[in-house]
Structure 1
Amino acid sequence: MDTDRAAAVDPIDVEVGFLTPALRSDLLERWNEPQRRYHNETHLRAVLRAVDALEADGEAFDATEVRLAAWLHAAVFDPTESENNERSAVFCERVLDPSAPVEEVARLVRLMGGHRVEVGDLNGAVLSDADLAVLGSDPETYDTYAADVRHEFAHVPGERFVAGRIVALEGLLERKSVYLTRAGRDMWEKQAHANLNRELGLLRAGAAG
């Protein structure tokens, strides 16, 4: 694969089966809603690029299903609500053509609510790793991600946000590995641990101080 050429192509513009021009336009409007600071078009683009990277590194999965799920996994997003993935899955079931792999795409969208992927679920593993690829990014990109998440949840009081964030980061670090695919571990695992431990240290220090 010509990775330089692939990186130059905007994944937003790549054709995906069953993603009609009308649906693509509607989804892009959704990804650019004003309440989104992290779960926006930049995140969508990053997830699609990560899917491409996993594919280029030899991971096997159903490309159409995973890319459709990437487009739809935060189609509905309200930071004050807790059922965004379920609502996105229902939206997916409503708007996709019946001839599309609707059941599998909706299943994958629901999985992103907690990244609880069963062993052997190749599609789920790839989408989960792509969604979490930001954790293994360079420190500056990671810090921007963390700040954007805090901005989205500005309605949550500081102490409560910090406590919840600490629990979330500890949960990721307690996993056997953050990433479920071999390619994801090779590309992002080491840097993800460095980023997560660094943020966790800062949060704990702030909470103690």
Structure 2
Amino acid sequence: MEWSEAITELGGEPGAWPRLEARYAEPHRRYHTLAHAAAVARDSAWLAEDLGDAERAIVAVAAWTHDVVYDAKPGEDERASAAWARAALAGVAEAHVERVEGLILATIGHDAPPGDLLATALLDADLAVLGAPEAQYADYARGVREEYAKYPDDVWREGRIAVLERMLARELYRSEPARTRWASAAERNLTTELTHWRGGRTDHR
């Protein structure tokens, strides 16, 4: 669902779009761009297709805004994005605003109650890139590394290894459609990247 359609469905004004575009066009971004937000909006719409109109609009707004503030500061970025979304939703019912905020904040730990279908759609869509074709996944991994360029290779390597190990130790996708579509490829991609970073260790752990 497009931004203007989603905002209108919730009773708001879509005038924040130019500011949203400007945020996603910031020069330090490599992966967390408007293309990523659009992909999450597209995939979450597919996963939320059986929900009501207002629920699908809430998921869409959360998808478009979940990385609108991105400075490679995990936790801080999501909280700032939630605050940005609140400001952009002037005129929207408070219950809907709170729901959007909660969905964005759920992306901090990628966790939510099992029965939360809106969070399931957003969180699974946000991880869809993990199950992308090999070349697309490589572009994602390279882009994220460039966004964290302030960290030297050895620090990045150990942090990335820990992230990859955590992802491989859990079930990545909450919904059956997402698991069917992305899980196998995601496991291959993550394992390949993990092998790469482990191979770069100098202490041969």
Aligned to 2:150: 155
Give the 3-state SS of the residue equivalent to 2:7 in structure 1.
Answer: coil
Query: Are the equivalent residues in 1 in contact too, given 2:67–2:77 (CA < 8 A)?
Result: yes
Query: Are the equivalent residues in 2 in contact too, given 1:80–1:153 (CA < 8 A)?
Result: no
The structure-2 alpha-carbon separation of the partners of 1:81 and 1:54, relative to structure 1 and needing over 3 Å to count, comes to closer
Query: Are the equivalent residues in 2 in contact too, given 1:80–1:155 (CA < 8 A)?
Result: no
Aligned to 1:200: 194
Give the 3-state SS of the residue equivalent to 1:34 in structure 2.
Answer: coil
Tell me whether 1:146 sits opposite 2:141 in the alignment.
yes
Query: Are the equivalent residues in 2 in contact too, given 1:90–1:106 (CA < 8 A)?
Result: yes
What is the RMSD of the two structures over their aligned residues, measured on CA atoms?
1.9
Tell me whether 1:35 sits opposite 2:25 in the alignment.
no
Write the distance in 1 (CA, Å) between the matches of 2:74 and 2:112: 23
Offset of residue 42 of structure 1: 1.3
AA aligned opposite 1:28: E
Offset of residue 54 of structure 1: 2.0
Write the distance in 2 (CA, Å) between the matches of 1:66 and 1:128: 10
Aligned to 1:17: 7
Query: Are the equivalent residues in 2 in contact too, given 1:44–1:70 (CA < 8 A)?
Result: yes
List alignment gaps of at least 5 residues for structure 2.
none
TM-score, normalising length: structure 2: 0.88
TM-score, normalising length: structure 1: 0.87
Query: Are the equivalent residues in 2 in contact too, given 1:85–1:109 (CA < 8 A)?
Result: yes
Write the distance in 1 (CA, Å) between the matches of 2:177 and 2:4: 22
Offset of residue 80 of structure 1: 5.1
Write the distance in 2 (CA, Å) between the matches of 1:81 and 1:13: 25
AA aligned opposite 1:194: R
Greater alpha carbon shift after TM alignment, 35-44 vs 97-106: 97-106
Write the distance in 1 (CA, Å) between the matches of 2:139 and 2:152: 20
Q: Identify which of 60, 65, 70 aligns with 1:67.
A: 60
How many corresponding residue pairs? 196
Using the aligned pairs only, state the percent identity: 36
Tell me whether 1:115 sits opposite 2:110 in the alignment.
yes
